[in-house]
Amino acid sequence: MTTTPEGTLALSAQQIRKSFGGKEILHGISVDVKKGEHIAIIGPSGSGKSTFIRCLNLLETPDHGTIDLHGERVFDAVEKTPAKSVRALRKRVGMVFQSFNLFATHTALENVSLAQRLVLERSKTDAVDRSEELLERVGLKKHMHKHPSQLSGGQQQRVAIARSLALDPEVILFDEPTSAIDPEMRVEVLRVMKELAEGGMTMMTVTHEIEFAKEAADRAMFLADGELLEIGPAAEILTDPSNERIRRFVNALS
């Protein structure tokens, strides 16, 4: 297991590059995420934030670079990654999307139970027990038999978070989890995420919610044009940015 003076590394991505149609979008981005750390990813639209976190669980295959999970090499761009390893990685690194991606024809409880049964091969009873416990944790137990269309955006996103947690991931990646939700419904989602972070979950969150990032993230990384402009303590970088580009961006949002 890889340790740094400050603790164990949960995820290490080194020199991640990605091109689409011959155009390089990520120019070699590296980050070391400690176990239990929460890193906010900030930056203008089109800077490569989604592409970067999608690379971290191989929804996009990096053209260059390596990914380690708890000291184990799980991806190296110079080798072909077998489909089996991709599936194994996706089990260990969960993802929560802006658009929730719940099954419309299934209830909240079924949405949370399904992957446990298919991916982890849990028994129906075990999957349902775990789902109920997680839906309780995100404040939705009383809505567990509703379908997504009967839930608000904020409630649907909390179901999606419960579904991700149900697979016991080592890291969860969030891509603008509150961007598609009405402002008054965001607070409950952010509260659940803050509790998760405080509970020791290792997380990376792409967000434009600067106040949330200051409060709930340990570090922030700022991407611009596919480059890592700065990484450091979230409160410091986002409260009084020394970098002019970050300052302008943060001021425009608040």
Which residue stretches of 19-123 are H helix? 49-56, 83-92, 108-119
Can residue 205 be called a binding residue for Mg ion (CB under 5 A)? no
CA distance 119 to 125: 15
Q: Minimal distance in Å, beta carbon 176 to ligand ADP?
A: 8
CB 162 within 8 A of CB 112: yes
Choose the one of ligand ADP, Mg ion, none that binds residue 241, judging by a C-beta under 5 to 8 angstroms depending on kind: none
Number of shown-chain residues binding ligand ADP (CB under 6 A): 11
CB 165 within 8 A of CB 134: yes
Can residue 20 be called a binding residue for ligand ADP (CB under 6 A)? yes
CA distance 89 to 228: 24
Span of 45-53, 69-77, 188-196, 246-254 interacting with ligand ADP by CB under 6 A: 45-53
Residue 56: closest CA among 158, 168, 157, 174: 174
SS3 assignment, position 16: strand
Can residue 49 be called a binding residue for ligand ADP (CB under 6 A)? yes
Choose the one of Mg ion, ligand ADP, none that binds residue 65, judging by a C-beta under 5 to 8 angstroms depending on kind: none
Span of 40-48, 64-72, 141-149, 234-242 interacting with ligand ADP by CB under 6 A: 40-48
Can residue 57 be called a binding residue for ligand ADP (CB under 6 A)? no
Q: Are strands 64-69 and 7-20 parallel, antiparallel or unpaired?
A: antiparallel
Looking at 9, 48, 161, 166, which residue binds ligand ADP (CB under 6 A)? 48
Determine what percent of the chain falls in helix, strand and coil, rounding each to the nearest 5. 40, 30, 30
Looking at 1, 5, 45, 252, which residue binds ligand ADP (CB under 6 A)? 45
Can residue 50 be called a binding residue for Mg ion (CB under 5 A)? yes
- The count of other CB atoms within 10 Å of the CB of residue 158 is 29
Can residue 22 be called a binding residue for ligand ADP (CB under 6 A)? no
Beta bridge partners of 224: 227
Exposed / middle / buried, residue 72 (Cβ in 10 Å: 0-12, 13-18, 19+): exposed
Smaller CB separation from Mg ion, 50 or 157: 50
Q: Minimal distance in Å, beta carbon 204 to ligand ADP?
A: 13
Looking at 10, 13, 42, 50, which residue binds ligand ADP (CB under 6 A)? 50
Choose the one of ligand ADP, Mg ion, none that binds residue 93, judging by a C-beta under 5 to 8 angstroms depending on kind: none
By the criterion CB under 5 A, which residues form the site for Mg ion? 50
By the criterion CB under 6 A, which residues form the site for ligand ADP? 20-21, 25, 43, 45-51
